[in-house]
A and B are shown apart, each in its own frame.
Chain A
Amino acid sequence: MALALREQEYKTELVDIYHAPDNLTYVVEDAPELGILKSLGIVKDAIVQKIMTYKLGGPVLLQVESCEIAISKDIAEKIIVRG
């Protein structure tokens, strides 16, 4: 029971990076199979910091190590992270 509850909690923490709150650090759980994302280090288990989301369908701004990366809404919605 306790384990099931923990697992549920764990699962509810999964969120796509576009809708994840700003200024927090996340661990990537799943990212689309895109060469450029892999290259920039946005792969499973990578640590990313979300800086902000741009309004009116703009991109999200992430920080991976010292590098800032802007990712369009369409892709950001498919990057699933854990809080």
Chain B
Amino acid sequence: MTSCHEIKADAGVYQKPNKILLMGNPNVGKSVFFSHMTGVHVVSSNYAGTTVSYTEGEMKLGDRSYTLIDVPGTYSLEANSEAEAVAVSFMHSNPVAVLCVLDATNLERNIKLGLELQKYNVPIVYALNLIDVAKRHGVEINVNLLAQELGAPVIPTVAVKGEGLAEVQAELHKVLNETQNNCSHCASCLGCPKGSTEQDTWERAREITAKVRKKVDGQLSFLDRLGAAMLKPLTGLPLAILIIGLSLGVIVGGGKALRAVLLLPLVNRILVPFFRMIFSSFIPEGVLLNVLIGEYGIFVIGFEWIIALIFPYVFLFYIVFSFLEDSGFLPRLSVLFDNIMRKIGIQGGSVITILMGYGCAVPAIIGSRTATTQKERIIIATMVCFAVPCISQTGALISLFAGFSPLLLIIMILLSLAIMVTVSLVLGRVIKGKVDPMVLEIPNLLMPNPKAYAKKLMLRMKHFLMEAEVPMLFSVIIAALLKETGLLDLIAVYLEPLVSGWLGLPREAVIALILGIVRREMAVAPLLAIEGLTALQAFVGGTVALLYLPCISVFGVLTKEFSPKVALAMGLGTTVSAFIVAGLINQIAHLFI
């Protein structure tokens, strides 16, 4: 998800002519303006800091074309953070104009940024966005007076509904055609603050806000009231449990239903027989035919595992997660759980990153960049690598436990939570440095914009198909070759003491350990094919898989985001603990059974 947001090393964009900068506080809707004006889609979410770098796109105004740059959201131009440093560099790169998006519900700090921008002497058009939300909150703004105070045009907008966007573009066009910009008339303009310190700018922002803002009777919507209820522990915790329960229901129940009703019949009755018929018509019986369509054949498990086992859960996870992300629910969860997270050594904001890990560890590890210290980043990344199963693996685990009691799944969840707490507590002591306490802005609760939501879902599924399919196919081919050529039995002999002796698993389970190196769910999928597995064996196998090596893509991202040393340490730590914990469970259980 982050690929389109990564900071590009080449500074060429700073040299581009005819740049218009799109600037404003985080989460004011800049990405919506950008998508609308350029047609380029940006992944936006309903919490601060989605755009960690800039995106550029072409915009036509009249018969001239300009490069519109979606600069990362900033609260000021003090270069307090990486995003602000990028914003300052852009202001110094000779843009022809700035489109500054102001949030009508938080006028003071938005005007403060607006005033800071004026110091660069570039023509500015202000878009006063979210005026509908401000009205609901009982705030009315005198737009003409604001324009007069700022000494620049101000256009009221409701970007998600497309209101006012055409006027903004027309105003930009007009401003660009004026030969002189407004700021050359300092004597007659009220705009700038009197002094040059940050305190002066704040004072001027407060003064303007007080002049233009009027309190009226607001009518809080159902969502506003629900958002407030979600923040109070008494109502928020039951609501959070209800929402998480519902989400799990949709993912697990929906996934199972999709699998049973649609995908398994499709695979078993149509796809596999079709390929079996084709291949057996011209390939004689033997190893080659078995590798293609035998019990573990590429065209058998390839369809079974990827289409029927993994896909439904991944699809449903992103349907639910993207919705929660855009609605503004996740930051509320962070606030409710900050006290617990703080006790285990991290902070509430990390809840979002960890939840993302239940989809896939790769975006979660990249997303851990939002952590303000390296120590917190490593703790979160380790928690995700150790005990947060990705959705593909969860799907496989659910299918594995489906034949036994649901109790197994509950114990597995508790086990993973216990491991996460242990990891955080241990690393908190071992790693030097500190974890910054939480300061979190809570966005309004809102219904996701259907278009943006659908686009985001499509991007994520496309990403999954491109990134995950290749390693999955790769492991399917390895599985087919190992099993159907008899190589597996040879390896199994060597690993028998570990697999059968210590872990108490059948010999065939060796294949899970080999494939688990490539993809996380492949450490579970082969167990599904073993007949006569006991509940204990399923649980032990599941525990190995949960704790076992993160997949190859995770290694890649750990190496890139941290270092090869960290990736190796993580691989070693997870594998050793997988065998120790799962083996102990097996041995202890045998004392009682």
Measuring CB to CB, which residues of chain A are less than 8 angstroms from any residue of chain B? 34-41, 43-46, 51-52, 54-59, 61, 64-75
B377 beta carbon closer than 8 Å to chain A: no
B119 beta carbon closer than 8 Å to chain A: no
Q: How far is the CB of A78 from chain B (nearest CB, A)?
A: 10
- B331 contacts which chain A residues (CB < 8 A)? 70
- Given A38-B80, A70-B338: A44 and B199 within 8 A (CB)? yes
Select which of A35, A56, A64 is within 8 A of B339 by beta carbon: A56
Q: Give Cα A74–Cα B134 distance, bound, in whole angstroms.
A: 31
Q: Give Cα A65–Cα B134 distance, bound, in whole angstroms.
A: 10
- Binding site secondary structure of chain B: helix
- Given A38-B76, A38-B198: A66 and B342 within 8 A (CB)? no
B41 beta carbon closer than 8 Å to chain A: no
Select which of A38, A58, A59 is within 8 A of B78 by beta carbon: A38
Measuring CB to CB, which residues of chain B are less than 8 angstroms from any residue of chain A? 74-76, 78, 80-81, 105-109, 112, 133-134, 137, 139, 198-199, 202-203, 206, 231-233, 331, 334-336, 338-340, 342-343, 347-348, 437-442
| 19 residue pairs A–B, Cβ–Cβ below 8 Å | A38-B76, A38-B80, A41-B109, A41-B202, A54-B335, A54-B336, A54-B339, A57-B343, A64-B108, A65-B106, A65-B109, A66-B137, A67-B442, A69-B439, A70-B331, A70-B442, A71-B440, A72-B437, A75-B437
Q: Give Cα A43–Cα B80 distance, bound, in whole angstroms.
A: 15
Q: Give Cα A40–Cα B336 distance, bound, in whole angstroms.
A: 20
Q: Give Cα A61–Cα B233 distance, bound, in whole angstroms.
A: 12
Q: Give Cα A57–Cα B232 distance, bound, in whole angstroms.
A: 15
Residue of chain B at shortest CB distance from A39: B75
* Contact present for A59 and B106 (CB under 8 Å): no
Select which of A35, A66, A72 is within 8 A of B139 by beta carbon: A66
Q: Give Cα A44–Cα B573 distance, bound, in whole angstroms.
A: 48
- A51 contacts which chain B residues (CB < 8 A)? 231
- B203 contacts which chain A residues (CB < 8 A)? 45
- A59 contacts which chain B residues (CB < 8 A)? 335, 338-339, 348, 438, 440
Q: How far is the CB of A65 from chain B (nearest CB, A)?
A: 5
* Contact present for A72 and B338 (CB under 8 Å): yes
Residue of chain B at shortest CB distance from A36: B439
- B442 contacts which chain A residues (CB < 8 A)? 67-70
Q: Give Cα A73–Cα B407 distance, bound, in whole angstroms.
A: 37
Given A38-B198, A43-B198, A43-B202, 16 new contacts (CB under 8 A): A35-B78, A35-B80, A35-B81, A52-B232, A56-B340, A57-B339, A58-B335, A64-B108, A65-B106, A65-B107, A67-B105, A70-B334, A71-B437, A72-B347, A73-B342, A75-B437
